[in-house]
Amino acid sequence: MGRLAAVAATGMCALSLAACGGSDDDSFKGKSADEVAAQAVKATRQADSMHLKGSARQEGGESLALDIAVDSEKNCEGTIKQQGATAQVRHRSATLYLKGDEKYWQNSLKQQESADKIVPKVAGRWVKMPAGDDQLSGLCDKQGLLAALDEDKSERKGMSKSGSTSVDGAPAVKLTKKSDGKTLTMYVASEGKPYILKVTTTGGSEPESTTFSDYNKPVKPEQPPAGETVDLKQLAAR
């Protein structure tokens, strides 16, 4: 289960695909597709907060579903699903809390000798995680997640504008790129700031789809009630 953050970040890599070529959309008249995508990457990275919701399937059939709101102060809350397991995550005041089902903790603690004793104590409860010990905390690092936007400059070529559309009611320009049997599509807001609204990868063995919404809305996760919280560090020391 420790690979969740890495998988999520990998899925975000699709966003690094900027573009060039194609016909003009009225809202971006005079700008090439690569210029539109570059604007979108910049605006998205500069946003104070956002809500990401996506799914991906890796080779071998393993799937990931992510639904999380995150801001520049590393406040976040949401849900991650993988390998038949579900975990809720909240990060506030530099503290990470997880609420995983039994399957999640079985996967996460399977290397520990005391797993059979710890799992019943943590499953279905909010668990205060040791600082920096869990990779899921990376999901609450907005800039870290979006760093993938600029990782591979060579992928910023070959896309084109594919006309106007909408994403959840928001007007958008559609940018696409076909390569090796796969189609990458980026939807960029054509009203207001040119935020990325959605990115999809179709046609390959690892389809992905991620939507972005609620830009600049406050992310204020509640601290779980003390009576519903356990400290994993203390449990592991027993």
Write out the DSSP string of 221-238. Answer: PPPPPGGGEEEHHHHHH-
pLDDT tens-digit profile of 167-221?
A: 999 999 999 888 888 888 899 999 999 999 999 888 877 888 999 999 999 999 9
Q: Residue 76: left if φ>0, alpha if ψ -120 to 50, beta else—which one?
A: beta
Residue type, position 50, single letter: M
**pLDDT of 137 higher than 50:** yes
| pTM metric for this prediction | 0.81
* The token pair that represents 158 in the structure block: 């070959």
Residue 155: the pLDDT is: 59
Residue 154: the pLDDT is: 57
pLDDT tens-digit profile of 70-96?
A: 999 999 999 999 888 999 999 988 888
**CA distance to 29, 168, 216, 217, per residue, from 72 (Å):** 32, 24, 10, 11
Q: Classify residue 13 as exposed, middle or buried by CB count within 10 Å of its CB (0-12, 13-18, 19+).
A: middle
